Amino acid sequence: MKFNIDDLPVVFPYDRIYPEQWEYMCDLKRTLDASGHCVLEMPSGTGKTVSLLSLIVSYQQFYPTKRKLIYCSRTVPEIEKALAELKRLMAYRIEHAETEEEKENERNFTGLGLTSRKNLCLHPEVSKEKKGRVVDARCRDLTSAAACEKGRVNPGSVPLCDWHEGLNELEPGTQLGRGIWTLSDVEQHGREKGLCPYFAIRRMMPFVNVVIYSFHYLLDPKVAEQVSKELSKDSIVVFDEAHNIDNVCIESLSIDLTRPMLDSAARSVSRLGEKIEEIKVTDASKLQDEYAKLVEGLQEADAARDEDAFMSNPVLPDDLLKEAIPGNIRKAEHFVAFLKRFVEYLKTRMRVLHVVAETPLSFLQHLKDITFIERRPLKFCAERLQSLVRTLSLTQLDEYYALQKVASFATLVATYEKVGFLLILEPFETESSTVPNPIFHFTCLDPSLAIKPVFERFSSVVITSGTISPLDMYPKMLQFTPVVQETYAMTLSRNSFLPLIITRGSDQVAISSRFEVRNDPAVVRNFGSILIEYSKIVPDGIVAFFPSYLYMESIVAAWNDMGILNEVWKHKLIFVETPDANETSIALENYRRACDNGRGAILLSVARGKVSEGIDFDHNYGRAVIMFGVPYQYTESRILKARLEYLRDAYRIRESEFLGFDAMRNAAQCVGRVLRGKTDWGLMVFADKRFARSDKRAKLPRWINQYITDTAANLSTDMALVLSKLFMRTISQSSTENQTGISLWTLEDVLKAQEKRKALEIDMGMQAERDEEIDEDEYGDSGLPDEILAEMEVDP
Amino acid sequence: MSSSAWARGVVVRKGGTSSQLTSRSGSAAPQPTSTSSTTYGGGVKDPSGRVIEYYAEDDQCPVCKSDRYLNPKLRLLVSACYHKMCESCIDRLFTLGPAPCPICNKTLRKIAFTPQTFEDLGVEKEVAVRRRMAREFNRHPEDFTDLRAYNDYLETVEDITFNLINDVDVAKTEARITALRAENAALTELNIQRDEQAASFLRQEEERERQEREERARDLRRQEEEEREEHERHRMDIINNLERGTGDAAKIVAKANAVKQKRTSARNVSSIPAIRQPSGGGRPTKASVIPDEPHVPLTDSYYAYEDKFTLKSDYHDPRSEAVRKDRDGIMRAGGYRIEEAWERAIRIAVAGLEISPLE
């Protein structure tokens, strides 16, 4: 269907559109027009991706500026899904273009996805490697500039990758044709033509209109510099599924070092030393050349950097890049001695048997006192190592992995010496263990540091997800000012999901996963009876989430002793998620099988686990999801504590506020797994009395919260069962009412809505509209029993 | 108190608030500790003040071959020639004064043994050399006209250090050090002062930051405490009103909540202080204490002074007649030369030393 938003003609690839999709597009357009950032929350399964793509592509095609779209998603399947969606959209656009010229224009629109070498490699040996790191290293051995040069001068002297070589005969920008290429398309193409998919995509990057890749390519400074450097300033950046974006930011600037890594780094250093001695005898001019280049400054070295550069420097300020490498690490042997000293120093730190927390500044001071290493050379450590590796044309770089880690550690410490970072040494893995296994954490406490370059560089950044409530938390944590900040309700012709909060068991004992009561037999029994009762009444699949693996283990053991599991087995099979990925995927496969053949199954899993993040339980795979307890983080973690303290100091976000926010976004993520589209239906059971508190409920996404009625907010198990049965009886009736016009719009409805909005704006002015919004916001939060409960009965 | 609380139906929290506070502060986030310092001569003093020495399970004394199995208290020390020995061997060999090292025959003293810091003894030696170099070559980038010159300087220093560490051309290198030192003595002295100043600034800054942090934590605790009390009071109010009240229960609660809402928002407005600005950190811009002017000894040559007169071989000087005529040299016994007296007199006259300063 085609319609206009303001003056922009939008092509939407389906005949019907959801009202929230239309609103979403309107707000998105507002953001793009203002060249600002926005935070948008839209329920899962209401076609977020397609609305995003269809609006932005329309925008790109209509305006002559041709802003590039950078779409970041979390996992490879999600990237593939988005690409497929884009392909469908473009096919529709080509089909419905009016003139031949327009058709041509649509055909020239190019979109690509990028993922790691491991997922794309075609080389018969390299692609067999299991670890991504090894694939990267072996690929570099075969494709680095030095190896290629040698191979071309003297064919057969060095092994080269035929697929990569095939690429060189093509003009830049023609490695792949125009149009949309999904990852599997590129791989297919590569197989047929004998081209390397990875490098084909990499070389096409400057010429495409849409790039879809993972968060890390933009946020992780170690990668971003390399992959995303040439993207222009006016690009539109979209972070989809961005509810965990702050954690991604923090991870990308944090490094952990362990004892074995240091040992391995020390070995690598001595190997580097030997290599230098060797090359001094055979080919001293190489080192001389490098030396001369370094004297001139980094700029030239930077220009020479090719795609084979194995690791990039963390965001160095621009003025630093222009500076030359400090004199005392200019010579190769000096640098090796420098690295050796630094590694030895870190080893001495690892010997301490008590927890140490210090600021980077004090770390640097101590380092200087003991080993006389100054800050400046430390800052250039990663850069210098990269240059040395290139000069020595080392192969099998995966063996130098630990050393690279140490070098980036050095660079990060020296670069971010100011606030927002902390070094924590934890000598023991757990409180009770006696054998030291020290880990040196360099942790970033401030997520805004990693994402700051993105906000500064790109004019429009869109942060969107199904569960991103409370919306104002994200701008606060990431330090940006959004133009639009909006959450959309789900329009439904009938309630297709039922959220319930169970606060006490049938025996009226309050249930909670609070630490003090979590192993109380009464609570465990009540949790168990919820599981039994729901296994009796819910068809097909049930997913149950626990706050942690530890708690799940203890509670399942207790259920076994109480005979609860035996009772559940009568109705459904039980599968358990474990920290092991393979085990979990087998469990999932069998769970799906049991759901499909009608036996029915229960999957016990963990919030923040693999299942809670990426896997959908649509339709019969998940008819009910039960949250046992509030999924708080492990609060004894020192890193978390440091982060909380930082948030409190710097941004005035209270500990309890942040922990509650984090727990609720994970809970929402978990229960959101069950509903993937408007034809789907399911139960959402929150089993903990703390969910009934108003501060917790307010943190749930609006589309869930609006359906929590006062009656459903404070239930005992048997009351919840009555409601659930009632709900299932109504939902199982085939829906007779026509959804069109209410939750599904045709073109006429869209036009009508636009008219209406315009009329509203003119007639009542902005004031009236604002009033309406306020009215809408007060969803189901009044009434005495609920209020009194929230305020009085529940402990603070 | 508690009995009356029960009577009123107040929930008495187990443990009370005070213990809660202590438990919180006990498990508080790791506090960044202050800048560390070093104990010179081996052993690293970590930020908490404890000295950590190198220690391994499979240590063995190379001299007496005793190991950790035979002697659980085995402690190996490092000699000035970077060889390890256990304490009892050191006692045995060096109690009677200097003796040769059993491994390399260099004469050693007991006092010169130090604890081991680094696993690699090469690094241990390197650090010792660098300690010396750091004292002598401490020029800052500000001392140079451009970065290139500074980098060249750094490289020169590194070359020298490298030679010393690897015992290459030691004599020549030492000569070079002496030459460089003579060239830059004043600057070196100045930079030592500067470094000290920077370090003290850093310490002050840290101290200040720590105090600030404590202050903030205290404030926050107090605030939370107040809030809790408020909450408690509010709850009591509602219950009392419901007990006494006559009107609709929902209305009473709604009214109380509205009042509370107003109070909370008022407090929030008043209690938000300015968000902390990350302090400049890093380079010291200015120290709070103005340090003494660094003492720089006269560096120009004493002999560079040129006399503006020429001394004649003989003067008409009746008063020194006796000295000149003393044939036995009794009066010149202490090396007295009459020429020196003349020279002094003439210099005083020519340089005008006896002219009294202008009024």
Number of cross-chain residue pairs from A and B with Cβ atoms under 8 Å apart: 166
Whether residues B117 and A352 touch (CB distance < 8 A) is answered with no
Whether residues A641 and B28 touch (CB distance < 8 A) is answered with yes
How close is the nearest chain A Cα to the Cα of B167, in Å?
Answer: 15
Q: Which residues of A126-138 are buried (b: 16+ CB within 10 A; e: fewer)?
A: beebeeeebbbbb
Q: Look at A428-432, B248-252, B264-268, B270-274 and tell me which has the smallest mean pLDDT.
A: B270-274
- The C-alpha atoms of residue A411 and residue A378 are separated, in whole angstroms, by 6
CB atoms within 10 A of CB A392: 19
The answer to whether residue B46 neighbours chain A at the CB level (below 8 Å) is yes
Q: Are A468 and A242 in contact (CB under 8 A)?
A: yes
Of residues A765 and A53, which shows the higher confidence score? Answer: A53
**A639-697 per-position pLDDT tens digit:** 999 999 888 888 888 888 899 999 999 999 898 888 877 778 899 999 999 999 888 88
**A592-609 per-position pLDDT tens digit:** 999 999 899 999 999 988
Residues of A in contact with B153 (CB under 8 A): 327
Residue B39 has pLDDT above 50, yes or no: no
Of residues A795 and B112, which shows the higher confidence score? Answer: B112
Of the candidates A333, A355, A370, which has its C-beta nearest B44's C-beta? A370
Whether residues A361 and B282 touch (CB distance < 8 A) is answered with yes
First to last CA, chain A: 52
Mean pLDDT of B18-35: 42
CB atoms within 10 A of CB B189: 16
First to last CA, chain B: 88
Residue B35 has pLDDT above 70, yes or no: no
Place of tokens 């010496």: A417
Whether residues B30 and A337 touch (CB distance < 8 A) is answered with no
Residues of A in contact with B152 (CB under 8 A): 327
Reported confidence tier of residue A783, pLDDT bands at 50, 70, 90: very low
The total number of residues shown for chain A amounts to 796
Per-residue confidence (pLDDT) for residue A738, from 0 to 100: 63
Q: Look at A486-495, A587-596, B170-179 and tell me which has the smallest mean pLDDT.
A: A486-495
Per-residue confidence (pLDDT) for residue B302, from 0 to 100: 63
Mean pLDDT of A432-438: 85
Q: Specify the long-range contacts of residues A134-140, CB closer than 8 Å, at least 24 apart.
A: A134/A398, A136/A310, A136/A397, A136/A398, A137/A310, A137/A396, A137/A397, A137/A398, A137/A399, A138/A396, A138/A398, A139/A198, A140/A308, A140/A310, A140/A397
Fold for A497-732, please state it. Rossmann fold (3.40.50)
- How far CA A330 is from CA of A192, A293, A301, B305, in Å, comes to 47, 10, 13, 44
Q: Which residues of A545-560 are buried (b: 16+ CB within 10 A; e: fewer)?
A: bbbbbebbeebbebbe
CA triple A89-A95-A96, angle to 5 deg: 90
Please give the residue of chain A at the shortest CA–CA distance from B31. A357
Domains of chain B: 3-119 (3.30.40.10)
Of the candidates A355, A362, A788, which has its C-beta nearest B30's C-beta? A355
**B301-352 per-position pLDDT tens digit:** 666 667 788 888 888 888 888 887 777 777 777 778 888 888 888 888 888 8
Residues of A in contact with B24 (CB under 8 A): none
The answer to whether residue B282 neighbours chain A at the CB level (below 8 Å) is yes
**What's at A578, amino acid-wise?**
T
Give me the CATH code for the A2-109+209-252+450-487 domain, please: 3.40.50.300
The answer to whether residue B135 neighbours chain A at the CB level (below 8 Å) is no
Query: Between A381-392 and A259-282, two packed helices, what is the crossing angle to 10 degrees?
Result: 50
Residues of A in contact with B134 (CB under 8 A): 372
Per-residue confidence (pLDDT) for residue B254, from 0 to 100: 81
Test the B interface: residue of A369, A375, A515 with most B CBs within 10 Å: A369
Of the candidates B35, B126, B147, which has its C-beta nearest A324's C-beta? B147
Whether residues A365 and B257 touch (CB distance < 8 A) is answered with no
Residue A709 has pLDDT above 60, yes or no: yes
Q: Which residues pair with A239 in a beta bridge?
A: A72, A463
Residues of B in contact with A295 (CB under 8 A): 148, 151
Q: Are A31 and A237 in contact (CB under 8 A)?
A: no
Place of tokens 């604890």: B115
| Closest by CA position to A376, among listed A319, A455, A430 | A319
- How far CA B45 is from CA of A70, A344, B35, in Å, comes to 50, 15, 11
Whether residues A650 and B199 touch (CB distance < 8 A) is answered with no
Residue boundaries of the structural domains of chain A: 2-109+209-252+450-487, 255-415, 497-732, 747-794
Whether residues A354 and B48 touch (CB distance < 8 A) is answered with yes
Residue A338 has pLDDT above 60, yes or no: yes
Whether residues A362 and B213 touch (CB distance < 8 A) is answered with no
Whether residues B37 and A369 touch (CB distance < 8 A) is answered with yes
Residue A784 has pLDDT above 50, yes or no: no
Query: Between A76-96 and A100-107, two packed helices, what is the crossing angle to 10 degrees?
Result: 170
Whether residues A784 and B253 touch (CB distance < 8 A) is answered with yes
Computed over every residue of chain B, the mean pLDDT equals: 75
**A350-405 per-position pLDDT tens digit:** 888 888 888 888 888 888 888 888 888 888 888 888 888 888 888 778 888 899 99
Mean pLDDT of A231-253: 88
Taking only residues 153 to 182 of chain B, the set having a beta carbon closer than 8 angstroms to any beta carbon of chain A reads 153-159, 162, 165
Q: Specify the long-range contacts of residues A135-140, CB closer than 8 Å, at least 24 apart.
A: A136/A310, A136/A397, A136/A398, A137/A310, A137/A396, A137/A397, A137/A398, A137/A399, A138/A396, A138/A398, A139/A198, A140/A308, A140/A310, A140/A397
Domains A2-109+209-252+450-487 and A497-732 share a fold: yes
The answer to whether residue B212 neighbours chain A at the CB level (below 8 Å) is no
Computed over every residue of chain A, the mean pLDDT equals: 84
- The C-alpha atoms of residue A533 and residue A716 are separated, in whole angstroms, by 12
Of the candidates A295, A357, A369, which has its C-beta nearest B33's C-beta? A357
- How far CA B261 is from CA of A221, A656, B224, B257, B267, in Å, comes to 44, 19, 16, 6, 10
- Relative to beta strand A2-5, strand A682-687 is unpaired
**A662-675 per-position pLDDT tens digit:** 999 999 989 888 88
| Closest by CA position to A485, among listed A494, A473, A497 | A473
Reading the block at residue A164, the tokens are 């990569």
How close is the nearest chain A Cα to the Cα of B36, in Å?
Answer: 5
A192 SS3 class? helix
Radius of gyration of chain A from Cα atoms?
A: 29
Most confident of A588-592, A615-619, B31-35: A588-592
- Element of type H or E holding B100: strand B99-100
Of residues A299 and A240, which shows the higher confidence score? Answer: A240
Reading the block at residue A305, the tokens are 């950097």
Of residues A389 and B270, which shows the higher confidence score? Answer: A389
Of residues A302 and A564, which shows the higher confidence score? Answer: A564
**B125-183 per-position pLDDT tens digit:** 888 888 888 888 888 888 888 778 888 888 888 888 888 888 888 888 888 888 888 88
- The C-alpha atoms of residue A670 and residue A625 are separated, in whole angstroms, by 8
Whether residues B282 and A351 touch (CB distance < 8 A) is answered with no
Mean pLDDT of A490-511: 87
Mean pLDDT of A198-206: 86
Per-residue confidence (pLDDT) for residue A765, from 0 to 100: 54
Whether residues A327 and B216 touch (CB distance < 8 A) is answered with no
Of the candidates A352, A359, A792, which has its C-beta nearest B32's C-beta? A359
As a dihedral over the C-alpha atoms of residue A254, residue A259, residue A264, residue A269, rounded to 10 degrees, the angle is 80
H helices present in A108-182, as ranges: 117-120, 132-143, 145-153, 162-168
Most confident of A734-738, A765-769, B169-173: B169-173
Test the A interface: residue of B55, B155, B209, B238 with most A CBs within 10 Å: B155
Reported confidence tier of residue A159, pLDDT bands at 50, 70, 90: confident
Question: DSSP string covering B295-334, please?
Answer: P----S-GGG---SS---S----GGGHHHHH-SS-STTTT
Reading the block at residue A302, the tokens are 């930077």
How close is the nearest chain A Cα to the Cα of B64, in Å?
Answer: 26
Per-residue confidence (pLDDT) for residue A659, from 0 to 100: 92
Mean pLDDT of A46-62: 89
Whether residues A351 and B33 touch (CB distance < 8 A) is answered with no
- How far CA B72 is from CA of A352, A434, A436, B227, in Å, comes to 20, 19, 19, 57
Most confident of A104-113, A713-722, B155-164: A713-722
Residues of B in contact with A347 (CB under 8 A): 118-119
- Element of type H or E holding A792: none
CB atoms within 10 A of CB B267: 14
How close is the nearest chain B Cα to the Cα of A626, in Å?
Answer: 31
Residues of B in contact with A636 (CB under 8 A): 27
